Structure 1
C-alpha cells in the first residue's frame, strides 16, 4: 500500500507507539486522524484529533462516520492490567478482552466498509510477543493478544476479496508508559518499531516482527511447552 496520500485512522494516537505511528504517517504525506478517548490530549501538529473509545460502540460508529475517507486503519489502542487469569480480578480480565480484542474487532467492523468504499487499503493490528508467549502473571493480556492474533488471521482472509490487506505487528517491550518498570536495555525504541510497521504495511506483509525477542519466540513456537 502506498502511504503517501493515504488517509489513516490511528487509535491510541495521543502517546507511545500510536503517536509515533501517527507522526511518521504525517511525515510520509498521509492524512492522519489521531484517535483517542480524550481527543484534547492529542498534541501532534497536522493530525486531526478524533474521539474514539474502542469499548464504546457509539463512539466507534461516530468515528467511522467522521473519518469517512479512511484507507488505512491502525488498531493500536490497548491496555495491560498485569492480571493473572485464575487468581486475578475477573473484571480486569474482561476489561483487557474488551479493549484488546473486542475493541479492535468493533473498529475493524466499522471501518472495513469505509476502506472498501474508498477503493481498498489496509488494516494494521498492534499485537505483542505475548500473542505466542503466555506468562501466568500477564495471563489476561496474553489471552487477549492471542485472541487478537486469531482475529487478524481471520480478518485477513475475509477482507482480501475487498482489497484490504491485514497485517499484525508483534513486539516485546517498548520504551513507553506501559513498560515503564522494565529496564531500559530490554526495551526497543517505539520510533523504530513504528518505522518497521509502516514499511511492513507498504510491503503488504502479513506479520511484522519488530525485535529479536519476538523473532526468537516465533521461531520457537513448535517447541514443547515448558513444564512447571
Structure 2
C-alpha cells in the first residue's frame, strides 16, 4: 500500500507511538489522518483530525465506522501495559483489561472497518504488537504477553481473511520504546518516530510482518533455539 493520498485512522494517537504514526503519515503524504483517543482534546499534533474513541465501547466503534467512510488505512495502536506476577490474585482483573484493549479492541476495529477498507483500491491494517508476544519476563509481563500473543494470532488470521478483498495486514513487533508506557523500564529504548517510519516503509514494500529492532529480532530468533527462549528468559 502507498501512503501518499491515503486516509488513515490511528487509535491511541494522543501520545507515544500513536502520535508518532500521525506525524509520520502526514510526512509521507497521507491526505488525511484521523487521530483517535478517549479524550480527543489530548490530541495535539498539527494537521490531524481528532476523533473520540474508546476501543472497549462497541457503540463508539460502530459510530466511527459510520462517520469515517473514507478510511483506507487502519492502525490499531491503542493498548495498555501493566505488570505483576501472573499467579497473583490481581492478575485476573489485569488480564481481562489487557485482553479487552490489546486484543479484542483491534479485532472489533478491524471487523467494523473491513467493509470500508474493501471499498478502497489500496487498503491496509497495521496491528501494533510486541516482542513480548513471543516471550515473557517472569513475574512481570505474563498477562501482557498473553494479550499480545493473542493479537499476533488474530493478525495472522486477519491477514488471510482480508487478502480476499485486497487489504494488506502488517504486524508490527517492537520491544521497549521511549514512551510513557516504558518510562520506568531501564535500558535502551527505540524512538517511536523511527519505529513509525520503519512501519510505513515496511507497509509500502508489502511486508506482512516487521521486527522493528534488535531486541525483537533476538527474541524472535530465540523461538528456535534449543531450548527455546520462551521456556525461561531468565535461565
Q: Shorter-chain-normalised TM-score: which range?
A: over 0.9
Does 3-12 or 23-32 show the bigger shift?
Answer: 23-32
Quickly say closer, same or farther: Cα 1:83–1:112, change in 2 above 3 A: farther
Partner SS for 2:164: helix
Name the count of aligned residue pairs: 227
Partners of 1:131 and 1:102 in 2: how far apart?
Answer: 15
How far is 1:135 from its partner? 2.0
- 2:61 pairs with 1:77: no
- Cα displacement (A) at 1:106: 0.3
User: What are the equivalent positions in structure 2 for 1:145-224 lying under 5 Å apart?
Assistant: 145-183=148-186, 185-223=187-225, 224=227
Q: SS of the counterpart of 2:223?
A: coil
Question: Equivalent residue of 1:8, what SS?
Answer: strand
Deviates most, 80-89 or 1-10 = 80-89
- Does the CA-based 8 Å contact 1:11-1:75 persist in structure 2? yes
Contact 2:2 2:122 in 1 (8 A): no
Shift of 1:84: 3.2
How far apart are 1:86 and its partner, in Å?
2.2
Asked if 1:108 corresponds to 2:110, the answer is yes
Structure 2: give runs of 5+ residues left out of the alignment.
Answer: none
The whole-number CA distance in structure 2 between the counterparts of 1:121 and 1:206 is: 13
With the length of structure 1 as denominator, give the TM-score of the two structures: 0.96
Gaps of 5+ in 1: none
Conserved in 1, the CA contact under 8 Å of 2:175 and 2:213? yes
- The TM-score normalised by the length of structure 2 is 0.93
Matches of 1:18 and 1:199 in 2, distance apart?
A: 16
CA RMSD of aligned residues (A): 1.3
How far apart are 1:119 and its partner, in Å? 2.7
Deviation at 1:170, TM superposition (A): 0.5
